[in-house]
Amino acid sequence: MAYSQVTVTEHLLYHQQQSPQATGRFTNLFNDLILAAKIISREVNKAGLVDVLGFTGDVNVQGERVKKLDEYANDIIIHRMERAGVLCAMASEENAEMIVVPDKFKRGEYILIFDPLDGSSNIDVNVNIGTIFSILRRKSPAMQDVTLGDMLQAGVEQVGAGYFLYGTSTMLVYTTGQGVYGFTLDPSVGEFLLSHPDIRIPEQGKIYSVNESYWNYWDEPTREVVSWFKGVDNPRGKPHSLRYIGSLVADFHRTLLYGGIFMYPMDYRDPKRPRGKLRLLCEASPMAMLAEQAGGLATDGTKRIMEIEPHELHQRVPLFVGSEYDVRKVSEIYRKHAQKDGADDLRSI
Ligand code: FDP
């Protein structure tokens, strides 16, 4: 069968058959999520036509102004997924607390963590936005109430991760730990068709992606990292090109296909509380799983993102993700500074 005729459902069923323990519940979860994303995609595509653009005036848990489409996407996903019969709980970037599937619906063992509409500051200018998701299996016994502890799992525990990209075409890119696959929505038949089988991220890239306006908020090691990508001390002997859309899904998607690195480092906007912006559970962890499954890497500068143990639902983390060579370079520079700082500390004793 030609790639373009394989639907995402066929692809999921094929992988389900490869796994003797598979029950089909995971495939059901995915199918419901896909339906929610198709509805969001339809609304995103006509965003300029109807009264869904603009701010609602509310502020979400991250302190950002919420846009109508964010709310819409959030509501659609929660509505569909609590009825899917396979989830026990969800967490959304838009909700402060975890969302337990109500008693009136059948519950299952899976947990869905998602960012309903990432890159929302780009909605009004028709730039790519997306839905990011991470799927976990609950740790506590099914007879007990699901707890926050069930949500706070390191990236290595994810059983699936991916994103929907609402752009020139709508795409689904996902992994269940057996490689990364990309599907493009054919609007004429309403199906996601396999368009990018077994995506491999190039070992070394030519592009770096970072919001460089934060230069004055960065520490010395971070400035050295970014300077390295602008320099010529690399196997190509040329600077990396800069591309920054400001929508994680879009910047990550380009990085996955073309290679290079996406960075959102820790900064010192508040000198007392240095921090990254991106959320570990609904942004960094799923992107890290996709990157690793495609042969790339993801780090916070010192630790592998996939191994970071979360301690709160909306925890933020610095993120460096992309081609293996480029991400290793970042870790190398941070390590060099940590060793130097360690030596300086020793000298000062
Ligand atoms: P947005 O605020 O538009 O929703 O995490 C949210 C995010 O976008 C990412 O998609 C994007 O990579 C990042 O923030 C952009 O932040 P900066 O404007 O600080 O560069």
> How many Cβ atoms sit within 10 Å of the Cβ of residue 264?
22
Q: Is 342 annotated as a binding residue?
A: no
> How many Cβ atoms sit within 10 Å of the Cβ of residue 97?
10
Cβ proximity of 169 and 221 under 8 Å: no
Q: pLDDT, tens digit, for every residue of 85-101? A: 999 999 999 999 999 99
Cβ proximity of 248 and 263 under 8 Å: no
> For residue 277, which atom of ligand 1 is closest to its CA?
5
pLDDT score of 64: 66
Residue 67: pLDDT over 80? no
Question: Does the Cβ of 119 fall within 6 Å of ligand 1?
Answer: yes
Question: Does the Cβ of 255 fall within 6 Å of ligand 1?
Answer: no
Percent of the residues in the chain that have a pLDDT greater than 90, as a whole number: 76
> Of all helices (H) and strands (E), which one includes residue 346?
helix 324-348
Question: Does the Cβ of 247 fall within 6 Å of ligand 1?
Answer: yes
Q: Give the distance (Å) from ligand 1 centre to CA of residue 236.
A: 30
Q: Give the distance (Å) from ligand 1 centre to CA of residue 13.
A: 35
Task: Delimit the CATH 3.40.190.80 region(s) of the chain.
Answer: 207-340
> Of all helices (H) and strands (E), which one includes residue 89?
strand 87-92
- Residue 154 one-letter amino acid: A
The lowest-confidence range among 48-62, 111-125, 223-237, 326-340 is 48-62
Cα 145 to Cα 140, 150, 323, 334, distances in angstroms: 8, 10, 41, 42
Topology of domain 207-340, per CATH? Answer: D-Maltodextrin-Binding Protein; domain 2 (3.40.190)
Cβ proximity of 154 and 146 under 8 Å: no
CATH of domain 3-196: 3.30.540.10
C-alpha triplet 10, 14, 18: angle, nearest 5°? 165
Cβ proximity of 177 and 272 under 8 Å: no
Question: Does the Cβ of 118 fall within 6 Å of ligand 1?
Answer: yes
Task: Delimit the CATH 3.30.540.10 region(s) of the chain.
Answer: 3-196
Ligand 1 atom 15: residue of nearest CA:
246
pLDDT score of 348: 46
Q: pLDDT, tens digit, for every residue of 261-285? A: 999 999 999 888 888 999 999 999 9
**Model-level pTM?**
0.93
C-alpha triplet 326, 171, 304: angle, nearest 5°? 30
| SS3 (DSSP) at 330 | helix
Question: Does the Cβ of 278 fall within 6 Å of ligand 1?
Answer: yes
Distance, CA of 164 to CA of 129 (rounded, Å)? 9
Question: Does the Cβ of 24 fall within 6 Å of ligand 1?
Answer: no
